[in-house]
Structure 1
Amino acid sequence: MKHFYISTFLFCSSIVFSQKVEKLFGEEKYKEIIALENESVNFTGEELYQLGFAFFREENDDKAIEYYDKALNKGYTKPHIFFYRGLSEMYMKKYNEALKDIDKAISEAPLAEFYYEKIRIYKINKDIVSEEKTFLEALSKAEQKDDWYKKIIGIAGNYYYVEKKDYTKSEEIYKDGIAEFPKEYSFYTKLIKTLNAANKFSEANQYFDKIKVFYDNKELPEEDMKFKNLSVDEFAWKNQFVNVHRYFDKPKEMLDALYVVYLIDEKGEKVERKFKIEKTIQIEKKDPEFVICEEINDGHRTFPIGFKNDSFTLSSLRSEIIRILNKEIK
């Protein structure tokens, strides 16, 4: 009978702790879970994982791995335990071990989050070949199209746009992203810049018109609504970059801007010069409708460069801005 009472007590105690750990884990009270470490001898495999995760959240990766290992020894082998053990190993700079664990997690559950962290390890190690291979695999095999998947689209599209200058591949990735997430506005911006970089101005304008509908419906992020323009192009001048933004509202009055152009300093930290393509007065039909102006400390100056109407291409605008920067026009 005595043994029965002891067994019953231990069983009930185990249930109480189990319910307590589960409740604290659900409430994300990780410090309180860690306070139960002395009772962990009675924990189930899942509770040991939760204790390890609590240590992980408190930035104690050694302890996290200790309890992940104990959970695995008790038969708790769900994919996320390998993933989080891999994360702790990554933070401890044990990259080979981390990759093995994350690969194990991916083999059982190819989630975008798992792929994202694997990409991050390759980026840390500057292994560009493996990084590219991994994000391409993720785009084709990831099971859930979630926020992590969006991040991978951004990484992949930017890689081909910036690093490879492969605008066709970048375009393909962003178009697939828009098809999957039709209201992910950042993909439209990136696609427009990619198309313009490839001199596909007409198609870029079509996508600008699509995102303008979101602007008209006040659906864009607060910053885009506030500034009323969108980054549509960038190009290099000497050791600096020039960013081109296009306004959503069509210019109606004199001095209304169609584009604003920023010359970024060599460190890439601040705007060095700012130009606007502004509506001007047309005395005769042959006169330009738009001129290039520059904001300066003491006001505003206009260059003797005009565009007949708003149908000019970004190629023409780039050329004229470069002429100004090269001091060919005063």
Structure 2
Amino acid sequence: MARGEIHIQLNVDFADDPKVRALARYGRDARSIRDLYVQMLCYAKRNLSDGHVPTEQLGILTYPDSPARSKRDADRLVEVGLIKAVDGGWYVPAYLKRNKSRAQVQAAVEDKADRTARAATVGNHRRWHERRGKLDLEGCVHCRDAIARRDRWAIAASDSLGSGSDRTETETETQSQTEPQTGLDSSPKNPPPPNPPSPAGDAAPAEAQAARRDALVAEVLRVRPEWQASSIHRVLNDPKLASTVWPQLERALLAVAADPSTQGPGRVLYDGPWWSQQPPPQQPSPRCGQCSPARRLEDADGRDLGPCPTCHPGRRR
């Protein structure tokens, strides 16, 4: 097939179709009528009209016949059921049985163009994104596909999801140079929760979890106002953070935010000193003045009556 040629689908037994054989009633004119039908098929395919042939095309399809004879041949095609008369012309019902519609052809062209474009850019994607662990979700379809497939390198670079900016790419590159990793799929030794899900013993409802997550995001933004709330939420939803209780995640993320060398919240996905943060020591409450210096109650004879219910650390709420 030569490039640029268009072909119609026509059964080799076309002449034996009952409707075509019915044209024999018109004697010698049957051949010219059958030719008109084939010309209508060609017009529909060439113009992607889905089988519609406008009235003004009839004279072109039947040249050099007169307009009167052309109209008569079209009417005879209608009589045997090969075409239908419609507003503004005729319709060939059998066309779409063996030929693609305009929508199908356009979809195929777009699909081919998309596949060609993807093939042309996959080399740059592998060089500049996959090998460097950088994501460009706004400009690279391959990065979006990698996230949908949950490729390991894409998950490792999830701290740059949705930005595609130079700042985020610099952040990822800085992390790869300064943080020890065993591979693109390395995970923290102490991974915290994604949503974060309720740890053992924590029966907080979904509303309460959402509220405390929003509160943590707000606290992080107070420390690093240049960060985006959406980026922090993505880190909290990362599947690698699936087992650490909420207080540990809270302390780690705030420690990462307080570190001046941190470029983005995604740093918390990696192992580091932020996972060894200890809760701040509790400050003793003021003494109530009714108990001993050890915050225990005594009777008049100095016998110990137990911890003070007002100010003993073990009784505080």
TM-score (norm: length of structure 1): 0.22
Higher relative strand content: 1
Higher relative helix content: 1
The higher relative CO (CA closer than 8 Å, separation ≥ 6) is in 2
Larger CA Rg, structure 1 vs 2: 2
TM-score (norm: length of structure 2): 0.23
